[in-house]
Chains A and B, each alone.
Chain A
Amino acid sequence: MLLVFSAILSIMLILLVPLSPILASSTSSENNNLQKTTTIATTISQEQSNNLTPYNNPTHGIKFQYPSDWKLVEHGDNDYHNLNIVAEFLQPNQNNYYNQNISASHNSLRISVENYSAFTETDNNNTVNQLQNIGNHRLGAIGISCPGFDLKSYIRNTTLAGSPAFEINFDYSYLNNNKKAIEIWTVKDNKVYIIDYVAYEQVYDITVPIVQNMIASFEIT
Chain B
Amino acid sequence: MLLHSFWIFFYRTYDLSTRKLNTKRIILPTFAALTLLFAMVSAISTAPQSASAFPYTCLDTKTGGKAPMVISGKNLYVVWWGNGTGNFEVIFKASNDNGKTFGDKINLSNSTNGISGGASVAASGNNVYVTYWDNKTGIGRVYVRTSNDNGKTFEPEITLTDYTPISSVPYPQINEGLAKLMPYELKIAAGGDNVYVIAKGAENVKNITSPSDIFIRTSNDNGKTFGEEINLSNSTGIQSTRAEIVASGDNVDVSWWEKSDGKDQPMIRTSNDGGKTFGEATVLTANSTSSS
Residues of A within 8 A of B (CB): 1, 3-4, 7, 10-11, 14-15, 18-19, 21-22, 73, 75, 78, 80-83, 85, 88, 90, 94-95, 98, 100, 103-106, 110, 114, 117-123, 132, 135-156, 172, 174, 181, 183, 196, 198
* Pairwise interchain contact B62-A83, C-beta atoms closer than 8 A: yes
Report chain A residues within 8 Å CB of B68: 136
Contact A4-B26, Cβ < 8 Å, known A154-B76, A154-B95: yes
Report chain B residues within 8 Å CB of A117: 291
- Which of B53-61, B126-134, B151-159, B220-228 lies at the interface with chain A? B53-61
- Decide yes or no whether B51 CB sits under 8 A from chain A: yes
- Decide yes or no whether B80 CB sits under 8 A from chain A: yes
10 extra A-B contacts, CB within 8 A, seeds A22-B45, A140-B65 = A1-B21, A3-B21, A3-B23, A18-B42, A18-B46, A104-B59, A117-B291, A119-B62, A143-B80, A144-B65
Residues of B within 8 A of A (CB): 21, 23, 26-27, 30, 34, 37-38, 41-42, 45-46, 49-51, 54-69, 76, 78, 80-84, 88, 91, 93, 95, 98-102, 105, 242, 290-292
Complex: chain B residue closest to A119, CB-CB = B62
User: Closest approach, in angstroms, between the C-beta of B223 and any C-beta of chain A?
Assistant: 23
Report chain B residues within 8 Å CB of A119: 62
* Pairwise interchain contact A135-B99, C-beta atoms closer than 8 A: no
The prevalent SS among residues of A at the interface is mixed
* Pairwise interchain contact B58-A139, C-beta atoms closer than 8 A: no
Report chain B residues within 8 Å CB of A150: 93, 105
Contact A181-B34, Cβ < 8 Å, known A141-B64, A151-B102, A154-B69: no
A150 vs B80: C-alpha distance when bound (angstroms): 10
* Pairwise interchain contact B64-A152, C-beta atoms closer than 8 A: no
Leading 4 A-B pairs by shortest Cβ distance: A139-B67, A104-B57, A143-B80, A144-B65
Across the interface, A94 reaches (CB within 8 A) one of B37, B51, B57, namely: B51
* Pairwise interchain contact A121-B290, C-beta atoms closer than 8 A: yes
Contacts A/B (CB < 8 Å), 18 sampled: A14-B37, A75-B54, A83-B59, A90-B51, A94-B50, A122-B290, A138-B67, A139-B67, A141-B65, A143-B80, A143-B91, A149-B80, A149-B82, A153-B101, A156-B98, A172-B84, A174-B58, A198-B59
* Pairwise interchain contact A155-B83, C-beta atoms closer than 8 A: no
Report chain B residues within 8 Å CB of A137: 62, 66
Chain B CB within 10 A, most for which of A1, A18, A118, A148: A18
Contact A14-B34, Cβ < 8 Å, known A103-B58, A104-B59, A143-B65: yes
Across the interface, A132 reaches (CB within 8 A) one of B64, B69, B84, namely: B69
A146 vs B91: C-alpha distance when bound (angstroms): 13
Report chain B residues within 8 Å CB of A104: 57-59
* Pairwise interchain contact A136-B67, C-beta atoms closer than 8 A: yes
* Pairwise interchain contact A152-B101, C-beta atoms closer than 8 A: yes
* Pairwise interchain contact B292-A121, C-beta atoms closer than 8 A: yes
* Pairwise interchain contact A10-B34, C-beta atoms closer than 8 A: yes
* Pairwise interchain contact A156-B65, C-beta atoms closer than 8 A: no
Chain B CB within 10 A, most for which of A95, A141, A143, A196: A143
A73 vs B37: C-alpha distance when bound (angstroms): 36
A138 vs B172: C-alpha distance when bound (angstroms): 32
* Pairwise interchain contact A106-B59, C-beta atoms closer than 8 A: no
Report chain A residues within 8 Å CB of B76: 154
Complex: chain A residue closest to B43, CB-CB = A18
A183 vs B78: C-alpha distance when bound (angstroms): 17
Complex: chain B residue closest to A107, CB-CB = B51
A140 vs B21: C-alpha distance when bound (angstroms): 68
* Pairwise interchain contact B59-A118, C-beta atoms closer than 8 A: no
User: Closest approach, in angstroms, between the C-beta of B20 and any C-beta of chain A?
Assistant: 8
Across the interface, B291 reaches (CB within 8 A) one of A19, A80, A106, A123, namely: A123
